[in-house]
Structure 1
Amino acid sequence: MDGEGCIKKAYECILKGDFDEAIQWFLQAIHLEPDNASFHYKCSVSCTRSGKWELALHHAAKACALKPGNEEYRYHLDVVDARRLVSDAKLLLASGESKPAQVMEFLQEARILDPLQAEACYLAARCCIELGRLQEAKQLAAEAFRLEPSMEEARLLYRQIKRMSRRRGRD
């Protein structure tokens, strides 16, 4: 089977909802045609959907290296990198071992790479609360909700910050 045949098999797997098997077919296509940027890009998209950030990042970067002028590949690489940074920030927050300022570095970089990253705004708002930067937290929570209107936790956080701000104004 050639690379294109593997890609067709990968899409069949995607249609069945078997993303792990699809990734295996994409990897087989890449093995057969390692310099095919499109194969790396398609593999990266499936890896992203499956939360396999390092593999997604690797193949997105490879696609960009093979076709440096391709804006779609470059945009995808930035989005994947931003999602990876948000994922890392969530792990740091969950561990409780890092300081909000350290986590903010990840989130700021994620927001630069992907300005539409609502979750990065939401998590940054939470960090700003811990840092005592309520005005910035309020703006970030509002931005998260604007970017992702279905993000209920951002709307609730925004309301919480408004209440906190009013209480501070009375103190």
Structure 2
Amino acid sequence: MDGKELVKKAYEAILSNDFEQAIVWFEQAIAMEPDNAAFHYRLSITYARSNKLSKAIEHATQAIQLEPEEEHFRYHLQHLRAKEIIQQAEKYINESEGQVWMAISLLKQAVALDSLSSEAFLLLGIAYSIAKEYSLAIQAIRELLKLDPQHEIGIQLFEEYRMRLKQYMQS
């Protein structure tokens, strides 16, 4: 079996929702063709779907090293790095209010890496509200709603933060 046949097996596993087996097939394909950037890219996507972010980043980085001009690989890596930063920011938000500005800083980085991340905008809005920066919270949620106008939590938070800002301005 060559690398392309192994990748075909990986896709068959994905269609059966067996991501672990797909990873095995992709890894075998890479073992046969370690310089095939597309194989690393596809494995990275599968790792990401399996919530194995560090392995996904590792293979996305490898794909870019092998084919630095490929924009799809670069965008994918930026998306993964944004997800990693979002996870770090969530920890700061959950720790204490004293860490909220660190979370905000990280979430701004995540948005810069992946401007289509509704999760980053949602958490940025929440973090700003914790810091009582309601106008900035509203801005972040507004960006979320541009990406997903039907986002239920975003709609609720937008109204909540508008009311909080109004109350804050009156006091």
Q: CA deviation at 1:128?
A: 0.8
Identity score, percent: 35
Q: CA RMSD in A?
A: 1.5
Matched residues, number: 171
Q: 1:10 to 1:150 in 2, by over 3 A?
A: farther
Amino acid paired to 1:145: L
Alpha-carbon distance, 1:117 to partner: 0.8
1:92 Cα deviation from its structure 2 partner: 3.3
Aligned to 1:22: 22
Alignment deviations for residues 97-146 of structure 1 (CA, whole Å, 9 cap, x no partner): 86011111221111011111111011011111122211111010111122
Please name the residue that 2:62 is paired with. 62
Aligned-pair CA distance for 1:38: 0.4
Q: Distance in 1 between matches of 2:129 and 2:145?
A: 17
**Is there any run of 5+ residues in structure 2 with no aligned partner, and where?**
none
The yes-or-no answer on 1:42 pairing with 2:42 is yes
Change (3 A) 1:20 1:93: farther
Q: Which sections of structure 1, spanning at least 5 residues, go unmatched?
A: none
TM-score, length basis structure 2: 0.93
Structure 1's 9 and 96: CA in aligned 2 closer, same or farther, altered over 3 A? Answer: farther
Q: SS in structure 2 opposite 1:99? A: helix
SS for the counterpart of 1:34 is coil
Cα distance in 2 between the residues matched to 1:104 and 1:170: 26
In structure 2, C-alpha distance between the alignment counterparts of 1:28 and 1:97, rounded to whole Å? 46
SS in 2 for 1:7: helix
